Amino acid sequence: MNMQIVAPHPTSDLSRGCEVAARAESPDLRAFYENWDRARNGRPMPSRRELSLVPIKNLLRHIHLYDVVDTGHDFRTRVIGTGVFLGRDPDTTGKLLSEHPDAVVRSRVGQALREVVNTSNPVRVKRIRPGEDRFHITHVESVYLPLGTADKAEQIVAMTIYTHGIQQADFALLNSRIAPAFKHDIFVWLFRLWKSGRRIVLNLMKPMVKRASTPG
């Protein structure tokens, strides 16, 4: 079963290469890449058997592992940590990615996995997820690494890390997507404040108007 390809999320940034993965913003992702880099020992990639996760055992909840199916037309989930999708993911262990109930997950994860298969290179994906109240955002950063023999990826191991809070690189997003809504909210708030202030002033002036209009 082939996956339906959907347009990537507008706030996603996908890049590939060992240097890119080695410079991941999250120190946990850098440790994840360095562990893989040691296992490959100068080769394009290590095999699954050669990669030990013991050095990063405290990060296992962020790990997901996939088998490459039909030369990358689909992928089978082998391991999915509890910290990968933060409660949004049902138990998909042993199932094809094309069977995932969330179309966004199928598209986003599938795009990164296919890039690893097509290039035999590590892939780093970073996206920004605005919060429901527009003022809280979450950074989601992932690194996908090939596993296999020679230069052909047979499996892909990945790690996903969530970071909460605004960073310097977020201001473009805030200006383009959140700031207009924020300005609208500020305008509405100021208008309501003006109406409330006007009402208070009128109420305070009523006794003065009455006294002034009463015959002496």
For position 131, what pLDDT does the model report?
A: 61
Sign of the torsion angle spanned by Cα atoms 128, 45, 39, 74: positive
The pTM for the full model equals 0.71
For position 85, what pLDDT does the model report?
A: 81
Query: What is the assigned CATH class of domain 12-165?
Result: alpha beta
Place of tokens 């473009």: 172
* Token digits of residue 98: 């094309």
Rounded to a whole number of angstroms, the CA Rg of the chain reads: 26
For position 132, what pLDDT does the model report?
A: 57
pLDDT digits (tens, 9 = 90+) for 99-146: 998 888 899 999 999 999 999 999 999 988 766 555 567 888 999 999
Percent of the chain residues topping a pLDDT of 90: 48
Length of the chain (residues): 216
Number of helical H runs and strand E runs in the chain: 5, 6
Percent of the chain residues topping a pLDDT of 70: 72
pLDDT digits (tens, 9 = 90+) for 178-207: 555 555 566 666 777 777 777 777 777 666
If phi over 0 gives left and psi between -120 and 50 gives alpha, with beta otherwise, what is residue 40?
alpha
**Residue 2: is its pLDDT beyond 50?**
no
